Amino acid sequence: MSFVFPVHFSLLLFTTSFPLTIGVSLYEKVQLLETSYADIKEVLECKVLNLETKVIALEAKIAALEEKAEHQESVLTTLQNEQENTTPMAPDSVEIDHPIVKNNPIFRTCYEMNEANPLLDSGMYWIDPDGKGIGDDAFTVYCNMTSGSTLIFHDTEPKTDVGHCAGRGCYSRKVNYGASNRQVAALIALSEECQQSITYDCISAPLQFNGVDFSWWDDKNGEPQYFWSGNNKSIHTCQCGIDRNCVESHITCNCDSIFQKPLTDSGTITDKNILPIMRLNFGRTMENSSSGLYTLGPLECGGKLETKQLPSSCEDLWRIGHVFSGFYSVMGEKFVETLHCDFSRRPDQQSKQRKSISFAIFYEQNGA
Ligand SMILES: [Ca+2]
């Protein structure tokens, strides 16, 4: 019996304590799970709420961007329409079967453009005198397709009153052109002729008084010039002085007259080597009755400077229209020489490339 009792006792303990232990553990676990679930749920709900807020904000941003894009598209369409109606025709858009255009689709001058397609109307066009991809960028000019001339405008186009002042050149104004000095120089180098008109409407406002020049213009080199028409740099004169029909026989400009009445000197500077006019200077307009108003025209260049003989330099070749760098035969002093030209350099640097010279052909052999 003593052996049986312990067995029953331990069995009783087992049958009573086991379900109790299992029950407590599950309950705790369930509680833990419930707590965790609540925490996780709260975190997830918070995250979902954040995401929903972000989605709403993004949708609002997208709507705003769409509206902006629509506006930009509308502005672009308006600008394109305006450009078609008012801005110059880009030379690239002109399809022309011409060697100059094929090799260099950006025209250098209006003359070349007109030569390539005589059917083009006068108007604003892009040109690039120093060459596409070289030097300075293309710019817009007015092309007179009747004469084939190129007009470069400036910031002093309207008639301008010089006001009242006493000294020599007491009124002075710099002229700024719609192209760089290098591009202007390249256009002049390519053109057969260039000119610029200047008119001075005056009352008691002499250009020259008692042999003293009160007014002058500065040429492209900054040198003062006292002639107001033609190309004679050595004298003070206006067109009436050249035509010998000024209001007084002994003067060479109407405005130099002692007559106190409205007079005009109107002329055209034709010396392309010193154009364009870079600065205007006027003076001796101090009297109350004095008046001086000038009108400066655009720089106008036309024609094509032809190389009459064989080209003798890279600059000559550039002027003819060569654009591909390489070796060329040019005329030397007595012989035909071979010359390397780098046309990626600006025109004013071309003539300095005479470095690789070799005698190629005996050009003249006792007239044979
Ligand atoms: Ca260029």
| Residue range 19-73, pLDDT digits in tens | 445 556 888 888 888 888 888 888 888 787 788 878 777 777 777 778 777 767 7
- 185 with 45, same domain: the answer is no
- 168 with 141, same domain: the answer is no
**Which pLDDT value is given to residue 302?**
97
Q: Is 318 exposed, middle or buried (0-12, 13-18, 19+ CB in 10 A)?
A: buried
**Which pLDDT value is given to residue 306?**
79
- 143 with 161, same domain: the answer is no
Measure the CA–CA gap between 238 and 198, rounded to whole angstroms. Answer: 10
**Which pLDDT value is given to residue 41?**
86
* Distance from residue 145's CA to the centre of ligand 1 (Å): 22
Measure the CA–CA gap between 44 and 40, rounded to whole angstroms. Answer: 6
CB 144 within 8 A of CB 151: yes
Measure the CA–CA gap between 255 and 270, rounded to whole angstroms. Answer: 21
- 229 with 280, same domain: the answer is yes
- For ion ligand 1, residues whose CB falls within 5 Å: 128, 130, 134-135
- 246 with 288, same domain: the answer is yes
* Distance from residue 135's CA to the centre of ligand 1 (Å): 5
Q: Is the pTM of this model over 0.85?
A: no
Does some domain include residue 319?
Answer: yes
**Which pLDDT value is given to residue 250?**
95
Instruction: Residue 237: name the closest of 223, 255, 260, 210 by CA.
Output: 255
* Distance from residue 128's CA to the centre of ligand 1 (Å): 5
- 182 with 225, same domain: the answer is yes
* Distance from residue 108's CA to the centre of ligand 1 (Å): 9
Range of the domain at 130: 92-149
* Distance from residue 119's CA to the centre of ligand 1 (Å): 25
CB 124 within 8 A of CB 140: yes
* Distance from residue 186's CA to the centre of ligand 1 (Å): 10
Kindly report the CATH number assigned to the domain that includes residue 165.
Answer: 2.60.120
* Distance from residue 286's CA to the centre of ligand 1 (Å): 46
* Distance from residue 107's CA to the centre of ligand 1 (Å): 10
* Distance from residue 304's CA to the centre of ligand 1 (Å): 18
- 161 with 216, same domain: the answer is yes
- 298 with 335, same domain: the answer is no
Instruction: Residue 188: name the closest of 312, 319, 279 by CA.
Output: 319
Question: Tokens standing for 209?
Answer: 């008084």
- 272 with 158, same domain: the answer is yes
* Distance from residue 134's CA to the centre of ligand 1 (Å): 4
Task: Find all residues with CB under 8 Å of 181, minimum gap 6, and list them.
Answer: 220
* Distance from residue 102's CA to the centre of ligand 1 (Å): 17
**Which pLDDT value is given to residue 22?**
52
* Distance from residue 6's CA to the centre of ligand 1 (Å): 115
Neighbouring C-alpha atoms within 13 Å toward the C-beta of 255? 31
Measure the CA–CA gap between 341 and 27, rounded to whole angstroms. Answer: 98
Domain count, the chain: 4
Measure the CA–CA gap between 165 and 285, rounded to whole angstroms. Answer: 5
Residues of the chain with pLDDT under 50: 1-20, 83-104, 355-368
- 320 with 257, same domain: the answer is no
Does some domain include residue 368?
Answer: no
Does some domain include residue 42?
Answer: yes
* Distance from residue 182's CA to the centre of ligand 1 (Å): 10
